């Protein structure tokens, strides 16, 4: 693979992917957290009216179920951990790209492109390994 092709089809593609996935996980995490906060905050307010409107006890039960479900989903999918891991990898890849393009250490000399490929692939491999570890821990937690 030639330098320009690698930069475009591999490095830029990976930077874009990690950026998109980081943003997606951040939005999902924050949305679920907001629902949790609003749901939990509404319980004391609604509780004050249960004696006047009997059906509110069912609403309180539904809110409790919603809180439990969202908490389990956040724990299962680890949106915050994934968001930060993807953001870290994205920024590390960008850092390597700009060091390379500006011919800044360690990208000086005739082996600069080979070094870039090695370092980029190491970052991607490291993130993939970290993701696999997180998924394995999640599976182990779910079994217990």
Q: What is the pLDDT of residues 46-81, one digit of tens each?
A: 999 999 998 999 999 999 999 999 999 999 999 999
Query: Which has the closest alpha carbon to 86: 142, 124, 33?
Result: 124
Please report how the helices 13-47 and 79-101 are oriented relative to each other, as an axis angle in degrees rounded to 10: 150
| Token representation of residue 108 | 């000086």
Q: What is the pLDDT of residue 138?
A: 66
Q: What is the pLDDT of residues 87-136, one digit of tens each?
A: 999 999 999 999 999 999 999 999 999 999 999 999 999 988 877 776 67
SS3 annotation, 34-78 = HHHHHHHHHHHHHHCCCCCCCCHHHHHHHHHHHHHHHHHHHHHHC
Question: What percentage of the chain carries pLDDT values higher than 70?
Answer: 96
The whole domain housing 59 covers 3-143
Q: How many domains does the chain have?
A: 1
Q: What is the pLDDT of residues 35-46, one digit of tens each?
A: 999 999 999 999
Q: What angle do CA 15, 19, 24 make, to 5 degrees?
A: 150
Q: How confident is the model at residue 23 (pLDDT cuts 50, 70, 90)?
A: very high
15 neighbors 98 (Cβ within 8 angstroms): no
Q: What is the pLDDT of residue 133?
A: 74
Q: What is the pLDDT of residue 135?
A: 67
Q: How far apart are CA 102 and CA 100, in angstroms?
A: 5
pTM metric for this prediction: 0.84
């Amino acid at each position: 693979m030639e330098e320009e092709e690698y930069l475009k089809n591999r490095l830029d593609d990976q930077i874009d992917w990690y950026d998109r996935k980081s943003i997606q996980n951040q939005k999902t995490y924050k949305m679920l957290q907001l629902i949790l906060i609003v749901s939990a905050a509404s319980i004391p307010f609604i509780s004050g009216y249960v004696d006047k409107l009997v059906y509110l006890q069912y609403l309180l039960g539904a809110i409790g179920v919603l809180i439990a479900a969202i908490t389990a989903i956040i724990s299962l999918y680890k949106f915050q951990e994934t968001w930060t891991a993807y953001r870290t990898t994205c920024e590390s890849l960008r850092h390597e790209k700009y060091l390379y393009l500006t011919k800044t250490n360690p990208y000086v000399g005739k082996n600069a492109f080979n070094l870039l490929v090695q370092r980029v692939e190491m970052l991607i491999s490291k993130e993939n390994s970290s993701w696999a570890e997180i998924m394995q821990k999640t599976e182990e937690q779910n079994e217990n």
